Structure formats: structure tokens, C-alpha cells
Amino acid sequence: DSGVTQTPKHLITATGQRVTLRCSPRSGDLSVYWYQQSLDQGLQFLIQYYNGEERAKGNILERFSAQQFPDLHSELNLSSLELGDSALYFCASSVFLAGGRDTQYFGPGTRLTVL
């Protein structure tokens, strides 16, 4: 158990719908990262937050958005869902040490299926 929690574990929805994935980082970790794992694209970085502020963006679609709240939990919002959005979505967290010496610990993932 990494200490990172994600809910829900599984999500099945229809095209065009909107869903919210939730992540609670490890105690003491200030930075949260979202990754997408799909058969087509492999593991891709989506977005990073640090202490409530967006720090970096990767290959995140405009239909997707995220935020990190004052209690440091994060939510990833996916809207106008398409079949191709079906994937495993991981949240990771890290302390965010100077010089990049921190390690990202991954949650168990949320399996999203779009029908």
C-alpha cells in the first residue's frame, strides 16, 4: 500500500458524459500528479499540482481539467467522454524535495470504461 488513495476503483459511463476522479495523496506529500495508461498511448503524464497550484501540464486534453484543494486532495474531471478515453488513470504524490530527489508513489488507479 503506497498510502495514495483513489476513488472510485472502477467507473463505467457512456459517451458524452462527465466524471470526476478523486485522489488523496500520502500524508505530508504536497505534489500530486495524474497519469493515463491506455493500450494506445501507454503511460502518459497529464498534469501536476503543487500545494494547490498547477505546476506542469502534459498531454492533457482540453476536455480534461484538474485541481488540488486546500486539504491537498486532487480531482481530475473528464468531460464529453469518448470511447478513446477508456483507460486506467493513476494519481501519484511526492513530497517535492529540492533538486528532484523525491519519489512519486502511485495510487491503485481508477479504471474508466466509456461505452
Partner 1 sequence: AQTVTQSQPEMSVQEAETVTLSCTYDTSENNYYLFWYKQPPSRQMILVIRQEAYKQQNATENRFSVNFQKAAKSFSLKISDSQLGDTAMYFCAFMKIDTGRRALTFGSGTRLQVQP
Per-residue DSSP letters for 30-53? -EEEEEEEETTTEEEEEEEEETTE
- Min dist CB 39 to partner 1, Å, is 11
24 binds partner 1 (CB under 8 A): no
Region 54-93 residues binding partner 1, contact defined as CB under 8 A? 55-56, 58, 88, 90, 92
Q: How far is the CB of 72 from partner 1 (least distance, A)?
A: 16
| Closest residue by Cα to residue 112 from 46, 31, 29 | 46
Cis-peptide into 108, omega within 30 deg = no
Residue from 8, 15, 43, 51 touching partner 1 (CB under 8 A): that is 43
Amino acid identity of residue 22, one-letter, is R
> Of 62, 66, 67, which is closest to residue 80 (Cα–Cα)?
62
**Antiparallel, parallel or unpaired: β 74-78 and 19-24:** antiparallel
Q: How far is the CB of 107 from partner 1 (least distance, A)?
A: 8
Binding mask 91-110 for partner 1 (x = CB under 8 A): -x-x-x--xxxxxxxx-xx-
Residues that bind partner 1 (CB under 8 A): 2, 31, 33, 35, 42-45, 48, 50, 55-56, 58, 88, 90, 92, 94, 96, 99-106, 108-109, 111
